[in-house]
């Protein structure tokens, strides 16, 4: 079936394929807007404000900008990983906020998010996180069973 548009025959698309294309365009536009909004929020801060925020987080301003560009939710897998390891993320955040910030910072910059997500979905993250997680060393140190001290 063809539709004539300005004298030229055009095939009529099924609603499904049109919706697919429109959804893809809408997703791209939304992703662009989110990225632009994230970068713009920090750009609206003065140099002194950026320096103060970076100091509060104990990161250089350049790293702060890189972390901010990743956007909110970029450390969400950390919470899921901690839960998979049988650890309460809120308890760590409350008892040791500096360690939690370091864990989040590494999670945000991690290049293995696909693997992490796959392992979490499969239920194998606790077994394999040493193979891919940049937080593995810190997590081991935090949750290693305390050895009893020798009595004298």
Report domain extents, the chain: 12-72, 74-144
User: Of 108, 99, 59, 72, nearest to 89 (Cα)?
Assistant: 99
Is the pTM higher than 0.85? The answer reads no
CA dist., res. 147 & res. 138, Å (int): 17
> How many other C-beta atoms are found inside a 10 Å radius of the C-beta of residue 98?
9
pLDDT of the chain, 152 residues: tens digit per residue: 444 445 555 454 445 566 666 666 666 666 655 655 555 567 777 888 878 877 877 778 777 777 676 666 778 899 999 999 988 999 988 998 888 888 988 888 888 989 999 999 999 999 999 999 999 999 888 877 555 555 54
**Helix, strand or coil for residue 60?**
coil
| pLDDT given at position 79 | 92
Q: What was the pLDDT predicted at 47?
A: 82
The helix (run of H) or strand (run of E) holding residue 4 is strand 2-5
């Amino acid at each position: 079936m063809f539709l004539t548009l300005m004298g030229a025959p055009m095939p009529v698309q099924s609603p499904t394929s049109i919706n697919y294309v429109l959804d893809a365009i809408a997703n791209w536009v939304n992703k662009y807007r989110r990225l632009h909004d994230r970068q713009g929020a920090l750009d609206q801060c003065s140099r002194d404000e950026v320096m103060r925020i970076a100091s509060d987080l104990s990161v250089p301003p350049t790293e702060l900008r890189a972390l901010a560009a990743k956007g909110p939710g970029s450390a969400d897998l950390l919470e899921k990983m901690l839960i998979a390891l049988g650890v309460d993320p809120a308890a760590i955040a409350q008892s040791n906020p500096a360690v939690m910030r370091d864990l989040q910072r590494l999670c945000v910059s991690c290049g293995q998010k696909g693997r992490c997500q796959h392992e979490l979905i499969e239920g194998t993250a606790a077994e394999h996180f040493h193979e891919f997680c940049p937080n593995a060393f810190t997590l081991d140190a935090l949750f290693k069973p305390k050895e009893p001290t020798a009595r004298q």
